[in-house]
Amino acid sequence: MKTLRTIILACISSILIYLLVFTFLVKKPLTLGFIHEALQVRAAYVQANPGPKLVIIAASNGLFSYRAEVMEKILGLPCLNASTIGQFGLDIQIALGKKWLAPGDIVLMPLEYHSYALTNNEIENSDANGFIINYAPYLLRDLSWHRVLCVLFHYDLKYLISAVIEMGLAKAGISRRFSKATLTPQGDMRGHTESRGMEYRGYLSSLTQAGPSDELLYKRFQGEIVLENFLKWAKEHGILVIGTLPTVFNDRPISEKLIAKIASIYRSQGQEFLLLPNHSQYDRRCFFDTDYHLNEPSQIAHSQLIANYLKSRLRLAHEGN
Amino acid sequence: MLFNSKEFLLAFLPLTLVILYLLARADYHRLAVTWLVAACLFFYGWWNPPYLILLVLSILFNYTVGGILIRRRSDDDVKVRKFALILGIGGNLAALGYFKYFNFFVNNLNGLFSLSLSDKSIFLPLGISFFTFHQIAYLVDTYRQETTPVSLGHYALFVSFFPQLIAGPIVRFHEVMSRLTSSDAFKLDLEQLGAGITLLLLGMFKKVCLADGLSPYVTNVFHAANGPVALTFFESWGAALCYTLQIYFDFSGYSDMAIGMGLMMGVNLPINFNSPYKAVNFIDFWRRWHMSLSRFLRDYLYIPLGGNRKGKFRRYLNVMVTMLLGGLWHGANWTFVFWGGFHGLCIVINHAWHNLRAWLGWPVGQERRWGRALAQMLTFFFVVVAWVFFRAETFTAAERVLEGMAGINGMVLPSQILNLAPFLKHFISGQGTVPLLADGTVMGFIEMAILIGIGLSLVFWGRNLYEMSQSRRVYLLIPTFALAMQQIFFAANVSPFLYFRF
């Protein structure tokens, strides 16, 4: 009996130590801390620019391929880039974007193709869990008990290793390629120039073009459900959401059927969808380090293009009113 | 049903044990055996019910042949016994051959003679290699009059005992049967239960945290090697070392879990691994790696072939035949045969080297410390090289990985790493993203490097679980239990054990 008691005690201690270590002792100051810093930059911007605004919500496609700084000059209204990273599940990407929204705002959503096809498992086990526990525990309030458990028990051996390394690097003053210093006041990524992107050319040429999953046509994914709930919420709160396609290579056209399916998700909830003539597809040379990440000159050009379309759309709406 | 699945850990195992203990406590031994056999068959059938028929037929066939061998023990029945043994072994090998090697055979015939024989879509029954070997061993032991008559229930339990049914350890009849048939079998023994639970949990940690943690770094490189890719030095070595560690932690983790569950039911299964990467030569390696298979190959193949009794040449030939067939046993692919042959050749060289040393008057086993360390490193190096053939799907893929390991396609690391240590730029090129190095990210590379470091430290310098006291093993649960549970209950995927496909 003593042996079993010792084993049970060892197991309980193990769980308590696990929770203590991952909740309070280790964190990822470089990868997840960056998102926290980005939120601070955005908070400062929103405080300085009250009133109706355009908010871009996506993963890193939003960060690298959209420039709110450029768009606000064309649109004549404050623009905020509230995008995060692809490793965050769609629910948390949206939750982090939602905090900046107020009635009368406009949301631009160039969601990555895979976001629409996220499974429940992928959403529950995303890297956002680490962010929540260390940087945004307030988000736990809105999560189901099962999701809270997923947040508490998200951390594996690899997480522990990389967290310890990140803490060490941060202490040594070493930062990532992209950090708070490479964000515009609006929260866009900057500095991903063509010349810096040269060392990724080989890698970019080896990638296959991203695109939507055919399964979207006949299967309902959790990603779609999460998005629909947000679109509904936005409608109820007087927020206009405009979906658009993310930026990918132009090796082959994106299927019209799939584009129609994506557009229908927004439109079915009374929101809008903006389809550029080029379907947001660009030559590989326009990209920085991977698909979804335009380099800076292309980011600016694409943002100008989008902003001009939005401008005419908003003017029409204004005239209509 | 996987040992590391929720349904196994939360439902099957506790339910099986509780009912087994209750029946044993009430002295319903036969009922306890029946219950355990039913549970084992359910465990097997859960994966693919139709193949349960194959297992049951195999058990009935071998039990019948075994019965003939037991009943015909007089000297007058030598011919009958020989015939029964040949029939028994032939039947087992025919089933194994059909399910595991039919398409391999057909494809090779087509290739050799430009035929167009069509292959069949045959689904490999789980654990067939293991339960076939179990039963061949039983028939040979019975022929040698080393077994005792047992009931069909006990025999079925010996073959289908779920902890070792799918991937071993390959047990011999006399090793477990006395426990399975004893009147106090399956009775709850808290000390044994505790020891079993501890081994189960630590084995699980090895599998789900260490082996599965390394797995993605292996898969991407070996998958890419199937296409025209120029793998660089660190990409290839990363994958080869990760696989070397993955297969060890995966299979030894499985064996620990099997031995642990055996103990929970009062059955001592043989140890299958004894720190194999500490081996100082290939002979030593095979005394430490998959020990129950080595023993099987030695006792039922190498020694019957003549072993070392017929001169040096025959000994070396027997080693090669044994290892080539041992390689083929792992899978229907020439890469496995090559892997076995490579190990066989290394063992032959090893024996020849020992002979040369003896001739020169240099005693074997009295090397200095640095000599042993060098021997260990050299053995490990060749073991890693051999694993490349074992893991690769084709020889071309293996060649691509080995080319990378030889540095033929250069050494490339992420520029960010080189910026931290600029002196490395003299030898290593920088690139923004090295896609097949770990997960293609800088942090991924560092994670992989540290995981390899942890893994190598454990296999080179760590004591294995069987060299530790029970109390020390329980202490090990403190840093490992929660991480293992996290993987089982909260990780996105549960992956099967590597040896399940053999």
B213 chain-A contacts, CB cut-off 8 A: 156-158
Rounded mean pLDDT, B312-329: 95
B430 has pLDDT over 90: no
- CB-defined contacts A:B, below 8 A: 107
A156 chain-B contacts, CB cut-off 8 A: 209, 213, 483, 486-487, 491
Per residue in B227-264, pLDDT (tens digit) is 988 999 999 999 999 999 999 999 999 999 999 999 99
A165 chain-B contacts, CB cut-off 8 A: 443, 446-447, 450
Q: Do residue B489 and residue A153 have CB atoms under 8 angstroms apart?
A: yes
> Hey, is the C-beta of B197 within 8 angstroms of any chain A C-beta?
yes
> Hey, is the C-beta of B209 within 8 angstroms of any chain A C-beta?
yes
Rounded to whole angstroms, the Cα distance separating B309 from A116 reads: 68
Q: Write out the DSSP string of A137-148.
A: GGGGGGS-HHHH
The domain locations on chain B are: 6-188
Q: Do residue A121 and residue B492 have CB atoms under 8 angstroms apart?
A: yes
- Asked whether B188 and B21 are in contact (CB, 8 A), the reply is yes
Determine phi and psi for A274, rounding to 5 degrees.
-110, 120
Minimal-distance CA residue of chain A relative to B195: A3
Q: For testing the chain A interface, which of B235, B477, B485 should be mutated: the one with the most A CBs within 10 Å?
A: B477
Q: Do residue B485 and residue A203 have CB atoms under 8 angstroms apart?
A: no
Determine phi and psi for B168, rounding to 5 degrees.
80, -165
> Hey, is the C-beta of A20 within 8 angstroms of any chain B C-beta?
no
Kindly give, in sequence order, each residue whose CB lies less than 8 Å from that of residue B201, ignoring residues fewer than 6 positions away. A11, B260, B477, B480, B481, B484
> Hey, is the C-beta of A87 within 8 angstroms of any chain B C-beta?
no
Rounded to whole angstroms, the Cα distance separating A296 from A287 reads: 9
β-sheet bridge partners, residue B412: B429
Q: Does residue B362 or residue A204 have the better pLDDT?
A: A204
A122 chain-B contacts, CB cut-off 8 A: 492
Q: Do residue B435 and residue A122 have CB atoms under 8 angstroms apart?
A: no
> Is B290 a catalytic site residue?
no
> Hey, is the C-beta of B492 within 8 angstroms of any chain A C-beta?
yes
Kindly give, in sequence order, each residue whose CB lies less than 8 Å from that of residue A160, ignoring residues fewer than 6 positions away. A21, A22, A26
Q: Indicate the average pLDDT of chain B.
A: 92
Rounded to whole angstroms, the Cα distance separating B363 from B358 reads: 6
pLDDT reported for residue B492:
74
> Hey, is the C-beta of B432 within 8 angstroms of any chain A C-beta?
yes
Q: Do residue A11 and residue B443 have CB atoms under 8 angstroms apart?
A: no
Q: Do residue A162 and residue B443 have CB atoms under 8 angstroms apart?
A: yes
Rounded mean pLDDT, B167-181: 90
- Asked whether B69 and B143 are in contact (CB, 8 A), the reply is yes
Catalytic residue from among B330, B343, B354, B426: B330
pLDDT reported for residue B21:
96
Q: Do residue A290 and residue B433 have CB atoms under 8 angstroms apart?
A: yes
Q: Do residue A10 and residue B486 have CB atoms under 8 angstroms apart?
A: no
A121 chain-B contacts, CB cut-off 8 A: 492
B63 has pLDDT over 90: yes
Give the CA radius of gyration of chain B.
24
Give the whole-number percent of chain B exceeding pLDDT 90: 75
A19 chain-B contacts, CB cut-off 8 A: 482
Find tokens 């084992």 and name the residue. Answer: B40
Q: Tokens at residue B143, please?
A: 């022929």
pLDDT reported for residue A320:
54
Minimal-distance CA residue of chain B relative to A162: B447
Q: Do residue B483 and residue A18 have CB atoms under 8 angstroms apart?
A: yes
B209 has pLDDT over 70: yes
B435 has pLDDT over 90: no
The confidence band for B123, taking pLDDT boundaries of 50, 70 and 90, is confident
Length of chain A counted residue by residue: 321
Alpha-carbon separation of residue B344 from B82, B130, B486 (angstroms)? 30, 21, 41
A287 chain-B contacts, CB cut-off 8 A: none
pLDDT reported for residue A318:
59
Minimal-distance CA residue of chain B relative to A196: B432
Rounded mean pLDDT, B10-26: 96
Minimal-distance CA residue of chain B relative to A28: B443
Minimal-distance CA residue of chain A relative to B434: A203
pLDDT along chain A (321 residues), means of 10: 91 97 94 93 94 94 96 94 91 92 95 94 91 93 92 94 94 85 94 92 89 90 95 96 96 94 95 95 95 96 95 71 51
CB atoms within 10 A of CB A278: 12
Which residue from B420, B477, B483 is facing A156, i.e. has the nearest CB? B483
Per residue in B83-102, pLDDT (tens digit) is 999 999 999 999 999 999 99
A3 chain-B contacts, CB cut-off 8 A: 190-191, 193-195, 470, 474
Rounded to whole angstroms, the Cα distance separating A128 from B241 reads: 31
Find tokens 């939005």 and name the residue. Answer: A310
B73 has pLDDT over 90: no
